[in-house]
């Protein structure tokens, strides 16, 4: 199913994280304008074994490390935006592996001229069509980057969706945004689930949780 909206390809970026303990590229990230603040959002679990690291960093450990991020355009590989402003997630619940609603990392960006996405005010319902906005491993530079799926579960804890293209390979897309039919962000992709080819699904941190964590942290 083709979307009725378009998005700027410069809102989806490949992140490179750096601190005195690590430097690596992993997953995806995206730029949003949230109440006037330009933010780069990605998945917290990318600071761990999922990205090839020897350990999983807690939120408290990341605060002490104060990681920076540089982001690159997928098509050209050019540096697009960078930040040394890691924003600690101010929430009493520490991230635990598999907890989608806590899987968020935030960086503030000073450049207010960058193209950005918008967070949706309402979550999609079961049966709605959504789009994983991501560069897949087998995509060409001419691909739309928008991969349609049908919502199978939508709650304050998780957004789950079944991809329409059963041959799609959604691995390594953690941190990518999930968009509704208006092109607004309804989730942050955190994992692939189901059975390859027969029943590929994605799971995301839902927009209600993203908004809650941003409100508590900014």
Q: What per-residue string of b and e applies to 159-174 under the rule 16 or more CB within 10 Å gives b?
A: bbbbbeeeebbbebbb
Q: What is the pLDDT of residue 39?
A: 98
Looking at residues 105-120, what average pLDDT do you find? 94
Question: Tens digit of pLDDT for each residue in 119-129?
Answer: 999 999 999 99
First to last CA, the chain: 36
Instruction: Report which secondary-structure segment, H or E, holds 63.
Output: helix 59-65
Query: CATH second-level architecture of 129-207?
Result: Beta Barrel (2.40)
Q: What is the pLDDT of residue 104?
A: 96
Q: Is the pLDDT of residue 139 over 90?
A: no
User: DSSP secondary-structure letter at 56?
Assistant: P
SS (H, E, C) the chain: CCCCCCCCHHHEEEEEEECCCCEEECCCEEEEEECCEEEEEECHHHCCHHHCCCCCCCHHHHHHHCCEEEEEECCCCCEEEEECEEECCCCCCCCCCCCHHHCCEEEEECCCCCCCECECCCCCCCCCEEEEECCCCCCCCCCCCEEEEEEEEECCCCEEEEECCCCCCCCCCCCCEEECCCCCEEEEEEEEEEECCCEEEEEEEEHHHHHHHHHHHC
Handedness of CA 71, 59, 174, 114 (dihedral sign): negative
Fold of 9-117+211-217: Thrombin, subunit H (2.40.10)
Dist CA 201 CA 191 (whole Å): 9
Q: What is the pLDDT of residue 138?
A: 60
Q: What is the pLDDT of residue 165?
A: 87
- Give percent above pLDDT 90 in the chain: 72
Looking at residues 108-117, what average pLDDT do you find? 93
Looking at residues 139-158, what average pLDDT do you find? 83
Average pLDDT along the chain: 91
Q: What is the pLDDT of residue 81?
A: 96
Domain spans in the chain, listed from the N-terminal domain onward: 9-117+211-217, 129-207
- Using DSSP's 3-state secondary structure scheme, residue 87 falls into strand
Q: Is the pLDDT of residue 203 over 80?
A: yes
Residue 214 — pLDDT band, cuts 50, 70, 90?
very high
User: DSSP secondary-structure letter at 64?
Assistant: H
Q: Is the pLDDT of residue 111 over 80?
A: yes
Q: Within 10 Å of residue 144's Cβ, how many Cβ atoms?
A: 14
Q: What is the pLDDT of residue 95?
A: 65
- Which region among 58-72, 133-147, 167-181, 198-212 has the lowest average model confidence (pLDDT)? 133-147
Q: What count of residues does the chain have?
A: 218
Q: What is the pLDDT of residue 141?
A: 52
Dist CA 22 CA 156 (whole Å): 33
How, if at all, do strands 79-83 and 85-87 pair?
A: unpaired
Question: Tens digit of pLDDT for each residue in 1-31?
Answer: 678 889 999 999 999 999 999 999 999 999 9
pTM of the model: 0.94
Q: What is the pLDDT of residue 168?
A: 81
């Amino acid at each position: 199913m083709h979307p009725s909206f378009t998005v700027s390809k410069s809102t989806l970026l490949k992140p490179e994280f750096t601190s005195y303990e690590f430097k690596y590229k992993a997953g995806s990230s995206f730029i949003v304008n949230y109440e006037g603040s330009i933010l780069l959002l990605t998945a917290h679990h990318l600071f761990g074994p999922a990205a090839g690291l020897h350990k999983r960093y807690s939120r408290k450990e990341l605060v002490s490390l104060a990681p920076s991020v540089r982001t690159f355009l997928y098509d050209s590989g050019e540096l697009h935006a960078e930040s040394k402003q890691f924003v600690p997630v101010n929430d009493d619940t520490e991230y635990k592996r598999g907890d989608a609603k806590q899987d968020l990392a935030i960086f503030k960006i000073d450049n207010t001229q960058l193209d950005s996405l918008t967070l949706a005010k309402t979550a999609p319902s079961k049966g709605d069509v959504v789009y994983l906005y991501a560069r897949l491993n087998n995509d060409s530079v001419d691909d739309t980057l928008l991969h349609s799926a049908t919502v199978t579960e939508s709650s304050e804890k998780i957004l789950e969706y079944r991809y329409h293209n059963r041959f799609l390979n959604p691995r390594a897309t953690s941190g990518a945004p999930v968009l509704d039919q208006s092109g607004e962000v309804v989730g942050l992709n955190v994992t692939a689930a189901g059975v390859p080819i027969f029943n590929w699904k994605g799971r995301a941190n839902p927009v209600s949780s993203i908004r809650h964590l941003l409100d508590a942290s900014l």
